[in-house]
Amino acid sequence: MLDSDVVADWRFYGRQDELEQVRKILARGRWFFANISGRRRIGKTTLIQRALEGRADRTFYVQIPDSAPSGVLSAFGDALETFGIPASTVAVPNTPLGFAHAIRALVQAGYVVALDEFQYFNRKVLFDFTSHLQAVVDELSRTADRVRGGLFVLGSVETEMAALLEDRRAPLFNRVTDHVLLDHLDIGSVIDILRAHADPNPERLLFLWNLFEGVPKFYRDCFEQSVLAADRATLLAQMFFRSSSPLRHEADNWFLHELRGRYDVVLKFIARTPGCTNGELDEHVRQASPESQEQTAGYVKILADRYRMIERRLPIFARQKERKGRYYIRDNFLRSWLAALAQPASAVNFRRVEDLVAQADERLRDAEGYGLERLVAQIYEERSRKGLGDFPLTERIDGYWDKAGTEIDLVAVNDDQRVIRFGSCKRTAEKLLRGLAGDEAHIARFLEALPKYKHYRVERAAIAPALTPAQADAAHTRGWIPQDLNTLTQGL
């Protein structure tokens, strides 16, 4: 049973810096052309809604469909009707040129216009629109002091938004007056959500962050389904395994639709083997799909550069040209879906839901090992940024590995105070304590390989989601600083 203070209305969480940035844009009272970008479901539309509270009579929003020009014009006409904009202000357009002129008329009438999913204008069938919009933007810019409205373009595919707005060959190049980038909510904001609607205990924080990271829409979906405070099995069943589950088709609709199955072998292997090397990936593709072997490098490049679904990471202190890279899925939700949820969810019509949920949960617990490393690294950075805790960082915290077999989960450096801290992260406290002796050997090899840090004060942190007083004492006795998510999130 939830306490009465837990059952609260959903609020606007985090994003205070971005909200202030948008409000300053609006407060100028003159023409602007602003770009708001970020992954899908990250909260771009909600940010605009929050910033525009109190001026709904001069707001126009339309979500651009992924369709032919006729579909876009139809959606625009429907939005004009929905917002009750009279024909005397703007006529319903029937050509891309008319669409651009309609935006000009709205802005000149003092409307703030928001075009969502703007990246679709990078499609060949819609690209001509950007030339027409260029002429309108240039005209409005010349009379900016007399124009009280403005234009927001919202996009969720970073590379396509860059092609439309930052490519020198693009019609809209160098026209944007303001850029707002929405990243994931910080850990502090996620904890605020859990404090308001659930219980921010370490297990729940790790479980939900490993699934949803800092995507506010996913937490709100759980809240609206009344499972944000539920046990793991109940949440997974309600969100992924029912016919009405809101996230059952999320990955296919928003991540994988455009891939059309072309990169499944590569994506699934990286999701299920985070930190795989190029050689391991080549070997897997050779065995699983021999006809695709020669295309592996091309697939990896497209998934990294165009779709930004994967990333190649290097060990801390490595030079960019070194060949020690390991591959990871960038997005927690996509990684969790491919590694643990997709296969059980696909069998929902053939097996008991309870069995499938148990299978998915077991796989998620395995995936949470790497998720914990990412979570702790982000917490360290957030604490340093906010001036909390005992370890201000002078560079990004990351892991270390080498060909000699050295494996260290996290390395944190404070060059100002000449301190280096090695972190061992494990999903369970028992496994953490058993592995500390081996971790000492890895740290010794690190210090031999990078002798500069022998002269730093060396610290060791033993990190698990939760540690009992006895487990913390055991780590401390061995010379390790015991840290769990309760202690690391204090003050956030």
> Mind listing the pLDDT tens digit for each residue in 309-328?
999 999 999 887 787 899 99
Share of the chain above pLDDT 70, in %: 97
Torsion angles phi and psi, residue 213, rounded to 5: 50, -125
CA distance 133 to 124: 15
Share of the chain above pLDDT 90, in %: 83
Task: Look at the alpha carbons of 443, 332, 44, 167 in this order and tell me if their dihedral is positive or negative.
Answer: positive
pLDDT-derived band of residue 35, with 50, 70 and 90 as boundaries? Answer: very high
Average pLDDT on 438-446 reads 97
pLDDT reported for residue 389: 83
Is a pLDDT exceeding 50 seen at residue 2?
Answer: no
CA distance 201 to 195: 9
* Tens digits of residue pLDDT in 89-98: 999 999 999 9
User: Is 158 exposed, middle or buried (CB count within 10 Å of its CB: 0-12, 13-18, 19+)?
Assistant: middle
Q: Residue 387 in 3-state DSSP?
A: coil
Spatial contact of 440 and 478, defined as CB atoms under 8 Å apart: no
Is a pLDDT exceeding 50 seen at residue 337?
Answer: yes
Using alpha carbons, list the distances in angstroms from residue 221 to 1, 51, 487.
Answer: 20, 22, 29
Average pLDDT on 449-466 reads 96
* Tens digits of residue pLDDT in 365-398: 999 999 999 999 999 999 999 999 889 999 889 9
Per-residue tokens: 344? 């059980």
Q: Residue 11 in 3-state DSSP?
A: coil
Average of per-residue pLDDT values in the chain = 92
Is a pLDDT exceeding 70 seen at residue 294?
Answer: no
Is a pLDDT exceeding 90 seen at residue 307?
Answer: no
pLDDT-derived band of residue 290, with 50, 70 and 90 as boundaries? Answer: confident
**Judging by DSSP bridges, how do beta strands 59-63 and 33-37 pair with one another?**
unpaired
422 has which bridge partners?
A: 411, 460
DSSP 298-363: HHHHIIIIIS--EEEE--TT--TT-S--EEEES-HHHHHIIIIIHHHHHTTTTS-HHHHHHHHHHH
* Tens digits of residue pLDDT in 122-172: 999 999 999 999 999 999 999 999 999 999 999 987 788 989 999 999 999
User: Is 234 exposed, middle or buried (CB count within 10 Å of its CB: 0-12, 13-18, 19+)?
Assistant: middle
Give CA 90 to chain center in angstroms.
37
pLDDT reported for residue 6: 42
Range from 179-188, 267-276, 299-308, 438-447 carrying the lowest mean pLDDT: 299-308
pLDDT reported for residue 7: 54
pLDDT-derived band of residue 293, with 50, 70 and 90 as boundaries? Answer: low
- Which domains are present in the chain? 16-181 (3.40.50.300), 185-377 (no CATH), 389-488 (3.40.1350)
Cβ-based neighbours of 329, under 8 Å, separated by 6 or more: 267, 270, 271, 274, 309, 310, 335, 338
pTM (two decimals): 0.91
* Tens digits of residue pLDDT in 203-250: 999 999 999 999 999 999 999 999 999 999 999 999 999 999 999 989
Give CA 412 to chain center in angstroms.
23
**Judging by DSSP bridges, how do beta strands 481-484 and 457-464 pair with one another?**
parallel
pLDDT-derived band of residue 40, with 50, 70 and 90 as boundaries? Answer: confident
pLDDT reported for residue 322: 80
**Judging by DSSP bridges, how do beta strands 178-181 and 33-37 pair with one another?**
parallel
Average pLDDT on 437-446 reads 97
Helix axes 187-197, 353-385, angle to 10 degrees: 130
Helix axes 128-142, 96-108, angle to 10 degrees: 30
pLDDT reported for residue 254: 73
Range from 112-126, 295-309, 439-453 carrying the lowest mean pLDDT: 295-309
Spatial contact of 86 and 32, defined as CB atoms under 8 Å apart: no
pLDDT-derived band of residue 4, with 50, 70 and 90 as boundaries? Answer: very low
pLDDT reported for residue 5: 43
Spatial contact of 289 and 261, defined as CB atoms under 8 Å apart: no
Using alpha carbons, list the distances in angstroms from residue 467 to 369, 375, 430, 464, 470.
Answer: 16, 17, 9, 7, 8
